[in-house]
Copies of this chain bind each other. A is one copy, B any other.
């Protein structure tokens, strides 16, 4: 399949690497809203202006849209679905139904497929939740995130006066996960599920007490959590906190039997060295499915819940049945 990448931030770079390593994908090019000359890409890959996209209509099987969920994707994905099969990673859970409807209108009208909200949450974690609740309809599911870097929380700290740089780790609380695994079906407050660890580089002479207090009392981001703040040097941040690890678990327990006498646990866990590279790999797998389904005449907006697993694999259905089933 011929894929193209729209946007070349962390996610776009991850898609490039995943496609480069895939045996069944070739990269038509990287499309950018910046000036193409200003985008640093690996040798041998073409960079085009996003304005040139219409000329590539017949050359791209699937366009992977690598933009932010806050302002980029709500506009980009419906617009691009007018000309291309697209995959995006829209991850604002509460706005997925609205985004789906907007994208669906465009994709149905143009006769393309637009797969939204690929990645791991939403994405693989959504699959874990849906499979578990389909098998055990009354199960209780819990999602824990981390230990991993939250970009949004790191950004929030960086906006505080006197802060030069920061990394925030979301950390699941072990005792809470253990209680879920043991089938106790606990009711957990926000504070009981996760804690937040902040590593902050402050300006010289900055009021560290004020910064720490501003972080810990920040509404929505930190106020509802047990938060630790550690001030470190720029060198230490670069040395020990440069990566973008993340992950988490979807844990479910449910009962079977005429009187619910037997209990079952279903757990799905990810531990990722690089959040954007893994997310990108999920996007590429769904691009593969989009390409296959488009050839079957399927159109409209889709999510990971609509895609049969075999369509994600580069292997044939026969190979999958023989070796993976």
Binding site for B on A (CB under 8 A): 14, 17-18, 20-23, 42, 93, 96-97, 100, 117, 122, 124, 126-131, 133-138, 247, 256-258, 262-274, 277-278, 280-282, 285, 288, 303-310, 312-315, 317-318, 320-322, 324-325
Contacts and interface: CB of A to CB of B under 8 A. Distances in A.
Given A22-B137, A256-B18, A282-B135, A268 B270 contact: no
B135 A278 contact: yes
Given A93-B325, A267-B268, 19 more contacts: A18-B256, A22-B137, A124-B135, A130-B312, A130-B320, A130-B324, A134-B314, A135-B281, A256-B281, A262-B277, A262-B278, A263-B273, A264-B271, A264-B273, A265-B272, A267-B271, A304-B309, A305-B324, A306-B308
Nearest to A269: B267
Contact of A314 (B14, B137, B282): B137
27 contacts: A17-B257, A17-B258, A21-B137, A21-B256, A97-B318, A117-B325, A124-B131, A127-B309, A128-B268, A130-B310, A130-B324, A131-B312, A136-B281, A256-B281, A262-B274, A263-B273, A264-B271, A264-B273, A265-B269, A266-B269, A267-B271, A268-B269, A269-B269, A305-B321, A305-B324, A306-B308, A306-B310
Q: How many copies does the complex hold?
A: 2
A270 B271 CA distance: 18
A183 B317 CA distance: 28
B281 A257 contact: no
Contact of A134 (B305, B312, B325): B312
A96 to B, nearest CB: 5
A291 B152 CA distance: 43
B126 A324 contact: yes
Given A308-B307, A312-B130, A325-B122, A256 B278 contact: yes
Contacts of A312: 130-131, 134-135
A309 B272 contact: no
A304 B308 CA distance: 8
Contacts of A324: 126, 129-130, 133, 305
Contacts of A93: 325
Contact of A256 (B122, B136, B271, B274): B274
